[in-house]
A and B are shown apart, each in its own frame.
Chain A
Amino acid sequence: MRGRRPRNSPAVYESTPPHMFKNHLKLAWRGLLKRKGYSALNIFGLTIGITCCLLIFNYVAYERSYDTFQPNSGRIVRLRMDSYQEGKLAWKSATVYPAIAPAMKKEFPEVEKFCRLIDANLLLTNPEKTVKFNELKGYYADPSALDMLDIHLTKGNPATALDGPGKILLSESMAKKYFGNEDPMGKRLTGQGGFGGGLETYEVTGVFKEYPANSHLILHHLVSYSTLGKITREQWHDSTNLTETSWGWYDYYDYVQLRRGADWKALQAKLPAFADRHMNNEQWHKKNNVRSELYLIPMPDIHLWSNYNQEAEVNGNGKAVGFLFLIAFLIIAIAWINYTNLATARSLERAKEVGLRKVLGAIRIDLISQFLIESFLLNTLALALAILLSILLAPSFATLIGSDAGPFSLPAPYALGFAGIFLLGSFLSGLYPAFILSGYHPITVLKGLFRNTTRGQVLRKGLIIGQFAVSVILITGTILVYQQVQYMRRQQLGFNIDQTLVLDGPGSSQQDSTYKTIFQPFTTGLLQQTGIKSITASSNVMGQEIYWTNSVNRVGASTKSAITLYILGIDYNFIPDYNLHLVAGRNFSPDYPTDKQAILINETALPLFGFKNAADALNGKLVWGDTGHIIGVVADYHHQGLQKAINPLLIRCIPDMRNYYSIKFTSTDVHQTITAIKKAWDRYFPNDPFNYFFLDESFNQQYKSDTRFGATFGIFATLAIIIACFGLLGLSAYNVLQRTKEIGIRKVLGATEQSLVFLLSKEFLYLVLISLVIAIPLAWWVMHSWLQDYAYRISIQWWVFALGGLLALAIALTTVGIQALRASLANPAKSLRTE
């Protein structure tokens, strides 16, 4: 028999045969039930990790699904524009000029078609039923928009629905709102406001299906584009066909659809030359030293990555979504690290079984597959629980994070991606312990020589460090986000928004000639009410983006270039009512008849015109079409909160301004105050809807997304720490178990309980300390870059890291210390007898 090879070739054992798989699965299941505490710890940790991951995947998938329902979204780009004045970036807008898209179609063969939208905020009325609402989600639109932007008409002919002036399309719910169950086709609506100012009559030529919620545009009504042309001709006496030819009216959303196969980046590369040709080399741009740059943004990117002036809707924050995506991976990684750590730490317990199986003929690959199957079983159970939890929690999570994502669902690419991560994670987290465990030598184990093992300790320690580093980053991140939000809320804004109720003014529905005769008695009447302190009219109120801008020159200045200033029109009461501070000069006053030509500017505007200081600006003259002389300088105030930088402001004295009325009240009975105001409103403005909001509420809306982000961050930080603590709990428990005899001996030799607790906790504390050293610079860097998005931001204090570190340390110490204390209190006679 010498030299004969064994009967079976070893190659047969490279893979696990099915009967072995079944056996392993059975064994894994029994092991799971036998070690209930350990299994629960593992499954619970994994379930939390996977649930977080699934919920975030669901959210991210939704946020990234915007506009993908449009069949051509991949080929549609929207234009945007950056304007530089004297080389300084002055204006970044999502809107551009109406002449750009047609010119592109003419000059670039890859442009297949285009359409333009421009806000049509109208007070719409059904004269037959006196149904009347201020409609803010509507646009004047090119006829091509219907096809390009995938607007489905349920009634009407798409070919003719927008092909002439005076036509309006309504969404299905709008049609219901204005016409009930009647057929709206061919019926009339009157509209006031918009760019026209006057009263227009519209014929309903179609009804369209509303977009789903994941659209960057919300459409309630569409007015034919040529209506706007007619308005500019008839009411503005424009003979240049502005709505087609203007290279200066930047309120238009220009969408361009590319031919199949065309690359938008290649098209964008041609835009600098295009912009030079049409704008920058033209007279006006040169004279004013203005340069404009055009960019394209693909339609599916608009929701997350377009955050400029004049966006159609408040868009999402791609950066925050990316942060969350990263957190999802970190949390699930922490959960898997736990599994790996606990499984390797448990090797002592499993060693005997491993040795035995080897003696019975198992080779390493058999054992590795056995341990991997165990890992998959645990992971699969956790996954099942996590899916259940995700379905239950998805609505609350959506509320928390402010998402419109519906019930839990993952689109195919995300589901596949997650499945891949899940398989890889379960495999990798099980692989290492499998290798460690399967490596034991049978004799040492079975002979009982085997006491303790250093195998896998380095990795285990490394993983604990990683877990706690992530936790510390999340804790400090939470603290800093919270601080920033608090900072923004508490910072002196430079004006007073307390006890302020704002009414939507009647706007252009009131004729200039008669307005004064109505407004005067309205205010007088209101001010007689107890609890109402004052009333002031303005073009905008605090917290609102100002769309009204002008190019302004200083009369007699050395520089010739125009500066874009944001315009605020106010009456005489605005400055005192809002407690705005004047650093020089005086407020507008009805005592000076010439004040109608007077202006105020803010401090930010001073250097732009070469004024040395506030006093220097007094009596300076600015020209923008009209001319105004500066009678005062307003201290800078945060018109749009602290996320945004302060814009240069030109404040004009327009007592007839009627966009917003700000009413300061002192009464504590808010309900009664509103009733009184409404009564007065209905008497003097019976044809205008009564809409109001509280200024502090609306102003703080700006911080809502940050507050949410902070809350979300905080929740995931907490969960990450909980999972990490599960791991630490398991590890320290096994650590104590392994050292039972040592603890007994030390106690017999006279060790105190404190010294034992210290002895047992020391090792873990070192690890947490090392993790701090790694985490703090990382946390600083991450949060530093996050804060860059805020024009006004906190400086990062050292104590934030100290606090985050201490918190992590305290949590770790408690987790480990409890185990250590229990061990140190045990009766040594008992632990030594078992040997």
Chain B
Amino acid sequence: MIDLKRISKWVNVGGKPNFILKDINLDIKEGEFVSIMGPSGSGKSSLLNIIGMLDDSSEGEYFFLGQGVHGLKEKQRSQLYKQYIGFVFQAYHLIDELTVYENIETPLIYQNIKGSERQAMVADILDRFQIVGKKDLFPTQLSGGQQQLVGIARALIGKPKLLLADEPTGNLNSRQGEEIMDLFKQLNNEGVTIIQVTHSEKNAAYGSRIINLLDGRIDNFN
């Protein structure tokens, strides 16, 4: 599903390239549940952003479902990721002005899905996540765990093949964190490919594979 070939990312600092990612080769099959681990500044989030097509690599090739992502224009990339990828953030990143229902609905609007269909899809997922009663509340009226649940629901509403999660439990207490990880496991069992960035060994263990990053490289000795 995901094929990264010699991906590097750098920024110029004082005229010299400062490598964030160096020479990453990575192949992730459909149905995998991958955890990316590593110390702060090792490039975990940058790697996730490149996989999520939110960022460009400086060098190397990226094939997503067999299609070359490198060299696509922003609009085409946006087309691609809004169809296949869902994002979950550590800080939830819900839109404060929108209700739970509307937050979940937003990706569908950008996918041009008709009103009646959207209604059915949102109702489905509210039901599944057992947050029907919260649908008219605004994000600030929810607990952190509930907000992240909405965040995940929003990520899943477009029926993505790939779910990218950047420290999804980082702002949650351990009980809420466990609930989210159980949910991820369940989603993975249903066939959603998941890539998560995490600091927690325990959370990483939910996945089927762990990738360790150190100074922008995949650390193979671990």
Given contacts A2-B63, A8-B79, contact A34 B97 (CB under 8 A): yes
Chain A positions 3-54 with a Cβ under 8 Å from a chain B Cβ: 3-4, 6-8, 10, 12-13, 17, 19-20, 23, 27, 30-31, 34
Chain A positions 349-366 with a Cβ under 8 Å from a chain B Cβ: 352-353, 356-364, 366
When the two chains form their complex, are residues B78 and A353 in contact, meaning their CB atoms are under 8 A apart? no
When the two chains form their complex, are residues A6 and B79 in contact, meaning their CB atoms are under 8 A apart? yes
Q: Which residue of A lies closest to B80 (CB)?
A: A6
The distance from the CB of A168 to the nearest CB of chain B, in whole angstroms, is 75
When the two chains form their complex, are residues A361 and B63 in contact, meaning their CB atoms are under 8 A apart? no
Q: Which residue of B lies closest to A31 (CB)?
A: B97
Q: Which residue of A lies closest to B78 (CB)?
A: A363
Given contacts A2-B66, A359-B54, A443-B49, contact A30 B75 (CB under 8 A): no
Mark A450-465 against chain B: 1 for CB-CB distance below 8 A, else 0: 0000000000000000
Q: Which residue of B lies closest to A8 (CB)?
A: B79
Say which residue of B67, B81, B97, B112 sits within 8 Å of A27 (CB atoms). Answer: B97
Q: Interface segment, B103-111, B120-128, B191-199? A: B103-111
Mark A338-378 against chain B: 1 for CB-CB distance below 8 A, else 0: 00000000000000110011111111101000000000000
B205 at the interface (CB under 8 A from A): no
Mark A727-770 against chain B: 1 for CB-CB distance below 8 A, else 0: 00000000000000000000000000000000000000000000
Given contacts A4-B67, A10-B75, A447-B45, contact A30 B97 (CB under 8 A): yes
Chain A positions 441-478 with a Cβ under 8 Å from a chain B Cβ: 442-443, 446-447
Given contacts A17-B112, A357-B106, A361-B111, contact A442 B82 (CB under 8 A): no
Q: Interface segment, B87-95, B129-137, B142-150, B179-187? A: B87-95
The distance from the CB of A138 to the nearest CB of chain B, in whole angstroms, is 70
When the two chains form their complex, are residues B109 and A446 in contact, meaning their CB atoms are under 8 A apart? no
A1 at the interface (CB under 8 A from B): yes
When the two chains form their complex, are residues B107 and A360 in contact, meaning their CB atoms are under 8 A apart? yes
The distance from the CB of A649 to the nearest CB of chain B, in whole angstroms, is 77
Mark B25-55 against chain A: 1 for CB-CB distance below 8 A, else 0: 0000000000000000000010001001011
Q: Cβ of A359: which chain B residues have Cβ within 8 Å of it?
A: 52, 54, 87, 93
Mark B139-172 against chain A: 1 for CB-CB distance below 8 A, else 0: 0000000000000001000100000000000000
Q: Which residue of A lies closest to B155 (CB)?
A: A360
The distance from the CB of A529 to the nearest CB of chain B, in whole angstroms, is 82
Given contacts A7-B83, A363-B78, contact A356 B111 (CB under 8 A): no
What is the bound-complex CA distance between A731 and B88, given in angstroms?
35
When the two chains form their complex, are residues B97 and A361 in contact, meaning their CB atoms are under 8 A apart? no
What is the bound-complex CA distance between A27 and B45, given in angstroms?
31
When the two chains form their complex, are residues A20 and B109 in contact, meaning their CB atoms are under 8 A apart? yes
When the two chains form their complex, are residues A12 and B112 in contact, meaning their CB atoms are under 8 A apart? yes
The distance from the CB of B52 to the nearest CB of chain A, in whole angstroms, is 8
When the two chains form their complex, are residues B89 and A446 in contact, meaning their CB atoms are under 8 A apart? yes
Q: Cβ of A17: which chain B residues have Cβ within 8 Å of it?
A: 112
Given contacts A12-B112, A360-B106, A361-B81, contact A352 B93 (CB under 8 A): yes
Given contacts A19-B115, A358-B78, contact A446 B93 (CB under 8 A): yes
Q: Cβ of B107: which chain A residues have Cβ within 8 Å of it?
A: 360-361
What is the bound-complex CA distance between A35 and B49, given in angstroms?
32
What is the bound-complex CA distance between A85 and B105, given in angstroms?
86
When the two chains form their complex, are residues A19 and B109 in contact, meaning their CB atoms are under 8 A apart? yes
B98 at the interface (CB under 8 A from A): yes
What is the bound-complex CA distance between A517 and B52, given in angstroms?
113
When the two chains form their complex, are residues A360 and B67 in contact, meaning their CB atoms are under 8 A apart? no
Q: Which residue of A lies closest to B113 (CB)?
A: A19
Given contacts A7-B83, A359-B87, contact A1 B67 (CB under 8 A): yes
Q: Which residue of B lies closest to A358 (CB)?
A: B78
Say which residue of A7, A357, A363 sits within 8 Å of B75 (CB atoms). Answer: A363
Q: Cβ of B89: which chain A residues have Cβ within 8 Å of it?
A: 446
What is the bound-complex CA distance between A30 and B91, given in angstroms?
23
What is the bound-complex CA distance between A2 and B91, given in angstroms?
35
Instruction: Tell me how many residue pairs across A and B have CB atoms closer than 8 Å.
Output: 85
When the two chains form their complex, are residues B110 and A27 in contact, meaning their CB atoms are under 8 A apart? no
What is the bound-complex CA distance between A442 and B87, given in angstroms?
12
Q: Cβ of B55: which chain A residues have Cβ within 8 Å of it?
A: 443
What is the bound-complex CA distance between A352 and B97, given in angstroms?
12
Say which residue of A3, A12, A446 sits within 8 Å of B67 (CB atoms). Answer: A3
Q: Cβ of B110: which chain A residues have Cβ within 8 Å of it?
A: 20, 357, 360-363, 366
Q: Which residue of B lies closest to A446 (CB)?
A: B93
The distance from the CB of A834 to the nearest CB of chain B, in whole angstroms, is 15
Q: Cβ of B98: which chain A residues have Cβ within 8 Å of it?
A: 27, 30
When the two chains form their complex, are residues A1 and B81 in contact, meaning their CB atoms are under 8 A apart? no
B222 at the interface (CB under 8 A from A): no
Say which residue of B49, B63, B66, B82 sits within 8 Å of A360 (CB atoms). Answer: B82
Q: Cβ of B81: which chain A residues have Cβ within 8 Å of it?
A: 361
B173 at the interface (CB under 8 A from A): no
Q: Which residue of A lies closest to B79 (CB)?
A: A6
The distance from the CB of B210 to the nearest CB of chain A, in whole angstroms, is 23
What is the bound-complex CA distance between A17 and B109, given in angstroms?
9
Say which residue of B66, B82, B114 sits within 8 Å of A1 (CB atoms). Answer: B66
Say which residue of A6, A356, A363 sits within 8 Å of B95 (CB atoms). Answer: A356
Q: Which residue of A lies closest to B154 (CB)?
A: A360
The distance from the CB of B122 to the nearest CB of chain A, in whole angstroms, is 13
B220 at the interface (CB under 8 A from A): no
What is the bound-complex CA distance between A357 and B102, given in angstroms?
12
What is the bound-complex CA distance between A59 and B82, given in angstroms?
54
What is the bound-complex CA distance between A362 and B106, given in angstroms?
9
B76 at the interface (CB under 8 A from A): yes
Q: Which residue of A lies closest to B82 (CB)?
A: A361
Residue from the set B55, B67, B75, B79 with the largest chain A CB neighbour count within 10 Å: B79
Mark A113-135 against chain B: 1 for CB-CB distance below 8 A, else 0: 00000000000000000000000
The distance from the CB of A808 to the nearest CB of chain B, in whole angstroms, is 37
Q: Cβ of B109: which chain A residues have Cβ within 8 Å of it?
A: 19-20, 23
When the two chains form their complex, are residues B97 and A1 in contact, meaning their CB atoms are under 8 A apart? no
When the two chains form their complex, are residues A353 and B95 in contact, meaning their CB atoms are under 8 A apart? yes
Q: Cβ of B102: which chain A residues have Cβ within 8 Å of it?
A: 23
Given contacts A357-B106, A361-B110, contact A442 B54 (CB under 8 A): yes
What is the bound-complex CA distance between A366 and B109, given in angstroms?
10
Q: Cβ of A353: which chain B residues have Cβ within 8 Å of it?
A: 95, 97
When the two chains form their complex, are residues A1 and B79 in contact, meaning their CB atoms are under 8 A apart? no
Q: Which residue of A lies closest to B1 (CB)?
A: A1
Q: Cβ of B158: which chain A residues have Cβ within 8 Å of it?
A: 361
What is the bound-complex CA distance between A422 and B127, given in angstroms?
47
Mark B67-78 against chain A: 1 for CB-CB distance below 8 A, else 0: 110000011101
When the two chains form their complex, are residues A2 and B82 in contact, meaning their CB atoms are under 8 A apart? no
Q: Which residue of A lies closest to B138 (CB)?
A: A30
The distance from the CB of A640 to the nearest CB of chain B, in whole angstroms, is 66
Residue from the set A4, A17, A19, A20 with the largest chain B CB neighbour count within 10 Å: A19
The distance from the CB of A573 to the nearest CB of chain B, in whole angstroms, is 84
Q: Which residue of A lies closest to B106 (CB)?
A: A360
When the two chains form their complex, are residues B66 and A4 in contact, meaning their CB atoms are under 8 A apart? yes
Q: Which residue of A lies closest to B89 (CB)?
A: A446
Q: Which residue of A lies closest to B49 (CB)?
A: A443
What is the bound-complex CA distance between A19 and B52, given in angstroms?
27
The distance from the CB of A203 to the nearest CB of chain B, in whole angstroms, is 81
Given contacts A1-B65, A19-B109, A442-B54, contact A10 B79 (CB under 8 A): yes
What is the bound-complex CA distance between A146 and B83, given in angstroms?
79
Q: Cβ of A31: which chain B residues have Cβ within 8 Å of it?
A: 97
The distance from the CB of A121 to the nearest CB of chain B, in whole angstroms, is 73
When the two chains form their complex, are residues A443 and B79 in contact, meaning their CB atoms are under 8 A apart? no
Besides A363-B74, A363-B78, 4 new A-B residue pairs in contact (Cβ under 8 A), listed by A number: A8-B79, A12-B112, A353-B95, A442-B54
Chain A contacts to B: CB under 8 angstroms: 1-4, 6-8, 10, 12-13, 17, 19-20, 23, 27, 30-31, 34, 352-353, 356-364, 366, 442-443, 446-447
Q: Which 7 A-B pairs have the closest CB atoms?
A: A361-B82, A361-B110, A1-B66, A2-B66, A6-B79, A360-B107, A30-B97
5 residue pairs from A and B, CB less than 8 Å apart: A20-B109, A356-B93, A360-B106, A362-B78, A364-B74
